[in-house]
Amino acid sequence: MSKTPNSGKAEDDRPSTVEQYLVKDPERFALNMARMIEQAGKAASAWAEPREKGDVRDHVAEPVVDMVKTFSKLSEYWLSDPQRALEAQTRLFSGYMTVWANSIQRLSDGGEDAEGAFKPEPGDKRFQDPEWGRNAFFDFLKQAYLVTSRWANDLVEHADGLDEHTRHKAGFYVKQVSNAISPSNFVLTNPELFRETIASNGENLVRGMKMLAEDIAAGKGDLKLRQADYSSFEIGKNLATTPGKVVGRSDVAEILQYDPATETVLKRPLLICPPWINKFYILDLNPQKSFIRWAVEQGHTVFVISWINPDERHGTKSWEAYIREGLQYGLDTIEKATGEQDVNAVGYCVGGTLLAAALALLAQEGDHRIKSATFFTTQVDFTHAGDLKVFVDEEQVAAVEKAMNEKGYLDGTKMATAFNMLRSGDLIWPYVVNNYMRGKDPLPFDLLYWNADSTRMAAANHSFYLRNCYLENRLSQGEMELAGRVVSLKDVTIPVYNLASKEDHIAPALSVFLGSKYFGGEVDYVLAGSGHIAGVVNPPAAQKYHYWTGGKPTGDFNEWLAKATNHPGSWWSHWQRWIEAKEDDTRVPARKPGKHMKTLGDAPGTYVKVRV
């Protein structure tokens, strides 16, 4: 079925032929299938052995079980009304009939390209291979999949009888299942994978199963999906390279002080409190992306808390311990190192939530050393906390607590998997296809190396966070208890710079906006472009994205955004001007680490290098 010369099609745009999907060397192909099965057996053994030894236990309230329960509630809603169920089935049947009619039309036209009735969403990278459109079989699979997945989404959207939490979970799980069953994920239903498998006589699958076995072994019984070539990176060599010293060490944190880059510096030192769910060097990936290095170059004396990667020894370390032995210890260390009591503080994500709670506690205790607070994508109110709330209800939290209490911590792979599931279409399935189907090693990428550098969660700390923030929302309501006190954000009267990011799936911009009203002082709300990481790690030199500033963060968020001023580029310089405006213009001679106290080694220290 060749095109006529007048069709305007290039040679490689002609309709596909059957030959490219036929095995050319059956003997070699059969041998590779046997090798693939052997490697698959090794993968199964790597999964089963830790469970047989009791090193890994699968608890009953795993996400799959919760997903089944959620879908059962969704099914009950639709099946409870026969008319409603019939209408839903009719919509699905109608979609399939449209796809079928479209396929028949293509066949009657002799296989010529036809406009599909159902198209992928703009930006969907799964169906870019030309065969998804010009081959009738693969086009049928694609459209049938799109019909089914969109129908399932509609079931959730129109399930008016479901409570909001169940509806949220159902929508999230439908998305996970839809991403998982996409025909792009399987050899026989993905034309590109099919061709590669035939062309290599199945060697891609042998390599892929070998990588799968290695990744399960690396996860000690759980799949530790590799997202980058990790061998290209080393912390302290080409990651986290801003020069400095370790000037303090407690059971939960090392305090890093960075070498100055200017002759004079701002009088107030800067203390950065990163999340312990990830490692601090997201703010110091490389010299071009490093917020820490940039802040040093602007004249800040920068101190950073580097949290311990906890083990069974830290199981009883609570939020109060992280405040006393992390934040307050950092303030004490700064005073010893510089002689300064007044400090500017930055908190990122859950590090910001801890900072906010600590500020409320310290205000009651009369500790007023922190004079301004900057929050990067931080939630203090969890009413609109995004898809992570899917994992938080009484049953699931109790199951996590049971798992943590057995070891004193939550395995880092559990948190990594949860975060990857928030963007499974970008962070899971493309790597499953690339690694285990195509048998190709992922490329080096510093951000994905950091993303895979998992941290454990200390049991008492993580339990407190889940219950007091996500489950019961006690911080914003003035009901959180710390150190025997009930703390209130109304007591935080210092200036606050509250940064959100527009496409954040972890700390949604709306959630950060609404959280602003709970502070007792002046709050400047700034909205950065992009997401939870790229919106924060956006150096001015990159000239990427935008940021929005406006009036007080009150009223309706969409109305605030409509009136806000749009600025091109990075918010970093805007923040620097804000900081400088909050203190006088006094500059002091640059402070070198170790001048007034003994140092404990070079930055980035030892805690950050502990891997799980």
Q: What is the mean pLDDT of each run of 10 residues along the chain (612 residues)?
A: 37 59 92 95 93 74 75 90 90 91 76 67 91 89 94 92 89 94 96 95 96 92 90 96 98 98 97 97 97 98 98 96 98 97 97 98 98 98 92 89 91 84 90 95 94 94 96 97 97 98 96 98 97 97 95 95 97 97 88 94 98 86
Q: Distance between CA atoms of 144 and 7, rounded to whole angstroms?
A: 29
Give the type of residue at 555: G
Q: Distance between CA atoms of 212 and 39, rounded to whole angstroms?
A: 8
Q: Distance between CA atoms of 576 and 556, rounded to whole angstroms?
A: 28
Quick one: which of 356, 367, 279, 286 has its CA closest to 329? 367
Q: Distance between CA atoms of 81 and 167, rounded to whole angstroms?
A: 18
Residues 252 and 326: beta-carbon distance below 8 Å? yes
Domain ranges for the chain, please list them. Answer: 21-219, 244-385+474-609
Predicted local distance difference test score (pLDDT) of residue 575: 98
Catalytic residues: 349
What tokens does 139 get? 């086009």
Residues 225 and 215: beta-carbon distance below 8 Å? yes
Cα torsion angle, 426, 306, 327, 525, sign = negative
Predicted local distance difference test score (pLDDT) of residue 19: 81
Q: What torsion, rounded to 10 degrees, do the Cα atoms 405, 411, 415, 417 define?
A: -130
Residues 529 and 502: beta-carbon distance below 8 Å? yes
In the chain, how many H helices and how many E strands?
21, 16
Q: Distance between CA atoms of 440 and 449, rounded to whole angstroms?
A: 17
Q: Is the peptide bond before 604 cis (omega within 30 degrees of 0)?
A: yes
Residues 303 and 269: beta-carbon distance below 8 Å? yes
Give the type of residue at 145: Y
What homologous superfamily is domain 244-385+474-609 in, according to CATH? Alpha/Beta hydrolase fold, catalytic domain (3.40.50.1820)
Its pTM stands at 0.90
Q: What torsion, rounded to 10 degrees, do the Cα atoms 108, 114, 119, 122 define?
A: 170
